[in-house]
Structure 1
Amino acid sequence: MLIDTHIHLDAAEFDSTRREVMQSARDAGVAGFVLPGVEPGNFAAVAELAASCADVAPAYGFHPLYIDRVGDGAFDQLRVQLEERRPIAVGEIGLDYFVEGLDRERQQIVLARQLTLAVEFNLPVLLHVRRAQDDVLKHLRRTRVRGGIAHAFNGSRQQADTFIRLGFKLGFGGAMTYSGSSRIRALAASLPLEAIVLETDGPDIPPAWRPQGPSLPAELLRYAGELAALRGEPLERVIEQTGRNACEALPGLEGYLSRV
């Protein structure tokens, strides 16, 4: 089955079209959506979407781009979400060394505390690893979570293999569709299929055929076709295996899919 393992359905870009966007994706064969929280202010919107749509599975976490919104009491709020809302992961969490001006030390403190919570609640994590793969791996070696997904992966083959050894799947989506994304396309073509999941990161990272965006979940089928073409494998196998991989990376996902 097709699973969009990373999509921000609560984003403002979808406010006027959310119902149509989701139905178009379902019509294209998308069986489930993983919706990560990114900061305390959007936890309620994530919870509401997950409660109202059987095929939306929530996660909760503090994205590194929003650590300025993680104030006193934020971790207590996150703990409540993890205890009461049946999330399938802690996320989106991680490090971002691409955006200038972000406090790297603060990012690492926030990440470390969230990894500890993931261990406590025995949850996988959804990782943001932009230009920060080695430091994220350092934290994962120190705090052994139960795996998860390294979202929008754009590291080296050596880094990819290390994430895989630590129990992670790697997310591929819109960036893979650009002919100039040679490293991402090489990884998509050569990594074990059992290590790959599909994602859109909508509304971000739109595909090459519609670079103005937003990225839409209905395009996941075309992403699967792109991956199949890069690997020289049947589309049906890619869809089946990446769906299985998503459920392996996020065991709680199957409970949401069974509600549909």
Structure 2
Amino acid sequence: MDGPLGLAVTARDFGLRGPRGWAFRGVSADAEPGSLIAVEGPSGSGRTCLLLALTGRMRPTEGLAAVGGLELPRRMAAVRRVSALAHVTGVTDLDPALTVGEHLREQALLQRRFGGSLPRGLLRPRSERRREERRRVDTALTGAGLDLAVLPKGARTAVRDLERVEALRLSLALALLGRPRLLGVDDIDLKLSSAERAEVWDLLRSLAGTGTTVVAVCSEAPRDAVVIATGTGNDRHDDAKEAADALAGTGRS
């Protein structure tokens, strides 16, 4: 591959008005492929809605934006195909009763059925398909920095028994199984200590370093990120609830 895997992100006077008023408006951005982008703002300032709009999951109502040259909202479906989400409440929630391995197998099955060319895949021997699936899972786990060997019961560890950073890493691994060119991660500093936040930012830097464009929602951005600020003139509301309501029944995760 000659160039970065990631996608450039641009926006000018980008805005979204929902039933409760403006989720965000007047947003501008200009990020190169493979950038680490931080959507910075207080809770309730439209951060999650902006993340979902930039990944093609919510329809903006004013301004211009493009992801990898795909204009929003006209090319929302195309943007969804090349992006993935992690750690978004109400959208990518992990089932606490399932194990890490069950989550990975379920997501790998979904990718096999809906994430690629099904007819061409069916022509390959089953053993070859399984080896490829295992490689994709291993690559996703490595990218997310999740070592199954250090978990209490390995792949049989239930999600309810994971530490917060481990659960975040699992959510990232599930998103990475689709080999996205744009990865959106919500609320990365939720209930994390300073050391844990630094650990997560290092992980996201490493993902961006491989070429994937990363968009991460946070309350305080690191200095080396491309910052998109929210919370200037927006109406205060339950950002996560509005995002989940807008996506209910669409399957656009």
TM-score by length of 2: 0.34
Q: Which has the larger radius of gyration?
A: 2
Specify which structure has the higher proportion of helix: 1
TM-score by length of 1: 0.34
